Amino acid sequence: MVSGTELTLSLPQFPSSTIYISLYTGITNASTIRTELLGGNTKYAYAFVDPRTILSLTHLLSSVYRALTDNSADLLRTRTLHSELVFDLSPNMNIADSLRRFGLKDDSDSVLVLKVDDAADAKSDERKQRTFAAMDEIVEGTRVAVSDTEIAKLTDLELVRKNYKVSQGISLTDTGYATTVVTGAVALRGYF
């Protein structure tokens, strides 16, 4: 369900999990957020994703699906579901490399923030408002609409090409096709 600039949804396979997503630009406190994350501050129990590495909402949600699937099978490779969301964007099995490539950096000026909530009242308007207000307290920046259009404005196609080792012969300008290429790499990670 879209309300304002944020996105709230549930995946059909995981109806008890509510996913909250916000996109921020012009952020000024990325270094502070990273310090708090690395320090284990529970106030920062979110996934912070570098939007320059994301092609579309489908691309982003493919990592959410994989993380929820791994979580339900007790197969998380990272310490938390939220770090697993970032790790599951990667086409390789190196956790540290994945978090470095797809997560928030000290000099990031934009960020996608995700929260997965399994609480019984997660779908309530009050819980939703509290969750997005908490995100706004953490991130010093401007919240913009979570949409393929806004994500595309921030995507760095050469960074995507590098992260997913997409050959130069494959065009990434067709977002639908490019999304298929990178989500395929994520889905098959660990099999080849």
- Taking the C-alpha atoms of residue 186 and residue 182, their distance in angstroms, rounded to an integer, is 6
Residue 139 backbone class (left: φ over 0; alpha: ψ -120 to 50; beta: rest)? beta
192 pLDDT above the threshold of 60: no
- Taking the C-alpha atoms of residue 16 and residue 101, their distance in angstroms, rounded to an integer, is 30
| Confidence tier at 1 by pLDDT (50, 70, 90) | very low
Q: What is the pTM of this model?
A: 0.94
| Confidence tier at 2 by pLDDT (50, 70, 90) | very low
Residue with tokens 């996105």: 7
118 pLDDT above the threshold of 90: yes
Mean pLDDT of 77-84: 96
Residue 155: predicted pLDDT: 97
Mean pLDDT of 125-140: 96
pLDDT 10s digits, 52-67: 999 999 999 999 999 9
Average pLDDT score over the chain: 93
pLDDT 10s digits, 12-41: 999 999 999 999 999 999 999 999 999 999
Domains along the chain with CATH numbers: 2-187 (3.30.2380.10)
